[in-house]
C-alpha cells in the first residue's frame, strides 16, 4: 500500500491520455454490464423453483409445429404424470405491431400447474365464465394502463378469425400477480386467453396444441417420464421432444437467437479492442518513463518491484474503469427496462456479473501490463540513464 501514491501518480502522469483510455474502459465495461444483464435475463426467462416439477413437450421438428390435442389423454396415462395442460402461442400486439405481448391461449387447468401465478378466486371465476376473458400480468396492466373490466382490442400476428380478420377483442377478467420474484419479469408481462375461444375462433388451429406442460409426481423420475411421453409418439408424424422447463426455454430461446453466443462474440470483440488500446497506453507510458524507472532501480528498487508496480498500474487502470463502467450499468438497467415498456425485463447486475467483471478486469490488466512490465523489469540502468 505504501507504493499506491507512486502507482497512482504514474498512472495520471499524462492525464489526458489516461482519462481517454479510462473512458474507453468505462464504455467497454458498461456494455459488458448491460449485455450480461441481457444474457442473464434470457437465461433465466421463465425459470422458477416450481419449474423443476414441470416438463414441456413440443414437436421434435420445430417449436412452430403443433401437436394433436388427443395426445393429452394418453400422456395422462403415463406413470409418474400428475397433471397435463397445454397452450399455444397467440402472438398478440396491442394497437401497434411494435407493442408485442406475450400472449398464450391456455387450457382451463393451466393455472393449476403454475403456482408462481396468483389470481384471486373471484377473478379466476370471472375468467372461467367469460369466453372472451383474459388474465393479464401486473406489469402489462401498468404498461398499457389497463384495468380489470376493460375491453381491449388485440391484433394477432399469426391467427385470423373465421372472417380472415386478425383483430380480436378481449375482456380483462383479472390480474396475474407473480409470487416468484426470480420469474416475475416473465409472468408480469404475460396475457392468458381461453383455449376454447381461441380454438373455436381461428380456422388455423383445429384441435392442435402448441405444447404440453406436464407436472410430475416425483422430480427424480422426470427423466424417465419424459422418455415415456416421447415414446407415445415415436415413429408418428408428430414425434415429440420432452424436456425440463429450463431446457425447453433455453432451447426455444436458441431457436430465436443464441443470445449467449451473440453476447460473448460482441464482448470478445470489445475486450480485444480494449486490450490493444490499453496495452498501447501502457507501452507508451513505460517507454516515456524509461529514465524514471531507471532511477527507481538506481536508488534500490528491485527489478521485481518495478515489474509489480507497472503491473499494478495496469490492473489499477482496468479496475478503475471497469468498476465505474459496471457501476454505471446498475442504475441504467432499470431505466432501460422501464423505457422499453416492459419488453425488456433486464436482470440487475448480480454478484456473478460483478465477479466475472472483476475477473476480466484483473485478467486484462495483467495481460496488457505484462509486456511493458517485463520491459521495465529488464531495463538496464546504465543504458537507460545514458538514454541509449
Residue selected from 3, 252, 354, 374 as contacting another protein according to rule CB under 8 A: 3
Q: Which of the 8 DSSP states describes residue 51? A: G
**What's the min distance (Å) between Cβ of 314 and another protein?**
17
16 binds another protein (CB under 8 A): no
CB nearer another protein, residue 55 or residue 377: 377
351 binds another protein (CB under 8 A): no
CB nearer another protein, residue 196 or residue 303: 303
CB nearer another protein, residue 194 or residue 297: 297
- For residue 184, which of 232, 214, 235, 140 has the smallest C-alpha distance? 140
Work out whether the CA dihedral 59, 64, 70, 73 comes out positive or negative. Answer: positive
256 binds another protein (CB under 8 A): no
The answer to whether residues 34 and 326 touch, using CB atoms and an 8 Å cutoff, is: no
Q: How far is CA 134 from CA 121, 139, 141, 273, in A?
A: 14, 15, 12, 50
CB nearer another protein, residue 83 or residue 375: 375
Radius of gyration of the chain, Cα coordinates, nearest whole angstrom: 29
165 binds another protein (CB under 8 A): no
- Per the DSSP assignment, residues forming a β-bridge with 86 are 212
CB nearer another protein, residue 70 or residue 304: 304
Q: Which stretch binds another protein (CB under 8 A): 10-18, 156-164, 257-265, 318-326?
A: 10-18
Q: How far is CA 367 from CA 107, 175, 227, 327, 332, in A?
A: 56, 53, 48, 23, 29
Residue selected from 5, 98, 151, 181 as contacting another protein according to rule CB under 8 A: 5
Give the binding-site size for another protein (rule: CB under 8 A).
25
The answer to whether residues 113 and 54 touch, using CB atoms and an 8 Å cutoff, is: yes
CB nearer another protein, residue 204 or residue 301: 301
79 binds another protein (CB under 8 A): no
CB nearer another protein, residue 5 or residue 145: 5
Q: Which stretch binds another protein (CB under 8 A): 7-15, 123-131, 189-197, 258-266?
A: 7-15
**What's the min distance (Å) between Cβ of 383 and another protein?**
10
**What's the min distance (Å) between Cβ of 296 and another protein?**
7
State phi, psi for 299 to the nearest 5 degrees: -80, 0
CB nearer another protein, residue 361 or residue 377: 377
CA separation for the pair 123, 150 (Å, rounded): 13
Q: Which stretch binds another protein (CB under 8 A): 43-51, 136-144, 355-363, 378-386?
A: 378-386
378 binds another protein (CB under 8 A): no
Q: In which residue are the cell numbers 425459470 written?
A: 47
Q: Which of residues 271-330 bind another protein (CB under 8 A)?
A: 291-292, 294-304
| 269 CB neighbour count, 10 Å cutoff | 10
**What's the min distance (Å) between Cβ of 308 and another protein?**
13
| 108 CB neighbour count, 10 Å cutoff | 12
234 binds another protein (CB under 8 A): no
Q: How far is CA 95 from CA 100, 164, 236, in A?
A: 9, 18, 41
And the C-alpha cell for 268? Answer: 470478445
Helices (H), 233-350: 245-256, 259-288, 290-298, 303-339
**What's the min distance (Å) between Cβ of 14 and another protein?**
9
CB nearer another protein, residue 4 or residue 266: 4
Residues ≥6 apart with Cβ < 8 Å to 155: 92, 93, 94, 97, 166, 167, 168
Task: Give the residues lining the site for another protein (CB under 8 A).
Answer: 2-3, 5-6, 9-10, 12-13, 291-292, 294-304, 381-382, 385-386
Amino acid at each position: 500500500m505504501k507504493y499506491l501514491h507512486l502507482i497512482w501518480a504514474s498512472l495520471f502522469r499524462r492525464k489526458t491520455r489516461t482519462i481517454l483510455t479510462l473512458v474507453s474502459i468505462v464504455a467497454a465495461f458498461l456494455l459488458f454490464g448491460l449485455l450480461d444483464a441481457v444474457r442473464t435475463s434470457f437465461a433465466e426467462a421463465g425459470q422458477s423453483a416450481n419449474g423443476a416439477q414441470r416438463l414441456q413437450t413440443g414437436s421434435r421438428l420445430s417449436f412452430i409445429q403443433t401437436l394433436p390435442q388427443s395426445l393429452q389423454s394418453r400422456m395422462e396415462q403415463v406413470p409418474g404424470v400428475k397433471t397435463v395442460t397445454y397452450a399455444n402461442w397467440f402472438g398478440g400486439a396491442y394497437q401497434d405491431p411494435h407493442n408485442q405481448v406475450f400472449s398464450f391461449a391456455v387450457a382451463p387447468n393451466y393455472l393449476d400447474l403454475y403456482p408462481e401465478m396468483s389470481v384471486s378466486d373471484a377473478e379466476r371465476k370471472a375468467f372461467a365464465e367469460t369466453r372472451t376473458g383474459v388474465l393479464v400480468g401486473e406489469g402489462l396492466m401498468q404498461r398499457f394502463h389497463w384495468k380489470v373490466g376493460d375491453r381491449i382490442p388485440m391484433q394477432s400476428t399469426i391467427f385470423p378469425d373465421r372472417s380472415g380478420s386478425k383483430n380480436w377483442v378481449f375482456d380483462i377478467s383479472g390480474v396475474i400477480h407473480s409470487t416468484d420474484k426470480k420469474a416475475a419479469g416473465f409472468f408480469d408481462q404475460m396475457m392468458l386467453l381461453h383455449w376454447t375461444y381461441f380454438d373455436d375462433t381461428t380456422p388455423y388451429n383445429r384441435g392442435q396444441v402448441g405444447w404440453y406442460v406436464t407436472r410430475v409426481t416425483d422430480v427424480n423420475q422426470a427423466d424417465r417420464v419424459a422418455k415415456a411421453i416421447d415414446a407415445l409418439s415415436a415413429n408418428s408424424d408428430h414425434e415429440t421432444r420432452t424436456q425440463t422447463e429450463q431446457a425447453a426455454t433455453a432451447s426455444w430461446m436458441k431457436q430465436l437467437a443464441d443470445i449467449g453466443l451473440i453476447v460473448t462474440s460482441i464482448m470478445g470483440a470489445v475486450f480485444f479492442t480494449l486490450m490493444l488500446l490499453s496495452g498501447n497506453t501502457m507501452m507508451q507510458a513505460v517507454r516515456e518513463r524509461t529514465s524514471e524507472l531507471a532511477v527507481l532501480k538506481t536508488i534500490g528498487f528491485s527489478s521485481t518491484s518495478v515489474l509489480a508496480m507497472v503491473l499494478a498500474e495496469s490492473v489499477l487502470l482496468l479496475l478503475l474503469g471497469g468498476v465505474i463502467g459496471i457501476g454505471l450499468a446498475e442504475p441504467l438497467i432499470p431505466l432501460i427496462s422501464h423505457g422499453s415498456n416492459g419488453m425488456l425485463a433486464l436482470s440487475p447486475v448480480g454478484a456473478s456479473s460483478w465477479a466475472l467483471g472483476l475477473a476480466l478486469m484483473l485478467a486484462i490488466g495483467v495481460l496488457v501490463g505484462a509486456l511493458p512490465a517485463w520491459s521495465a523489469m529488464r531495463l538496464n540502468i546504465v543504458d537507460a540513464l545514458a538514454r541509449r
